[in-house]
């Protein structure tokens, strides 16, 4: 099994060429804070409708950022830290 690390996930968020991506699932993500920081203001976030952070550890206040307001679903079962 292969796991993505922090640099892999931030590179993924910055990647171009995925205009059809609407749903992103990062369940059990240990670096969700880093991913949320990278997503904020990114073109990828603008195209997402759903962001699943179930069972991930992150500061829930990050989802209060205006960049995340358009999401229809944003992982309500997250582990708040």
Question: At a CB cut-off of 8 Å and minimum separation 6, what does 20 contact?
Answer: none
For the chain, the structural domain boundaries read 23-80
Give how far the C-alpha of residue 68 lies from the chain's centroid of Cα atoms, to the nearest Å. Answer: 10
Q: How many H-runs (helices) and E-runs (strands) does the chain carry?
A: 3, 5
Contacts of 66 (CB under 8 A, 6+ apart): none
- Residue 1, pLDDT above cutoff 80: no
pLDDT digits (tens, 9 = 90+) for 10-51: 788 888 888 888 998 888 888 888 889 888 888 889 899 999
Question: What Cα–Cα distance (Å) separates residue 69 from each residue in 1, 51, 75?
Answer: 34, 11, 13
């Amino acid at each position: 099994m292969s796991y993505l690390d922090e640099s892999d996930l931030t590179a993924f968020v910055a990647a171009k060429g995925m205009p059809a991506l609407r749903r992103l699932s990062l369940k059990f993500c240990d670096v969700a804070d880093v991913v949320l920081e990278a997503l904020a203001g990114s073109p990828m976030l603008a195209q997402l409708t759903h962001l699943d952070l179930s069972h991930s550890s992150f500061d829930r206040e990050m989802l209060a950022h205006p960049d995340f307001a358009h999401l229809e679903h944003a992982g309500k079962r997250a582990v708040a830290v």
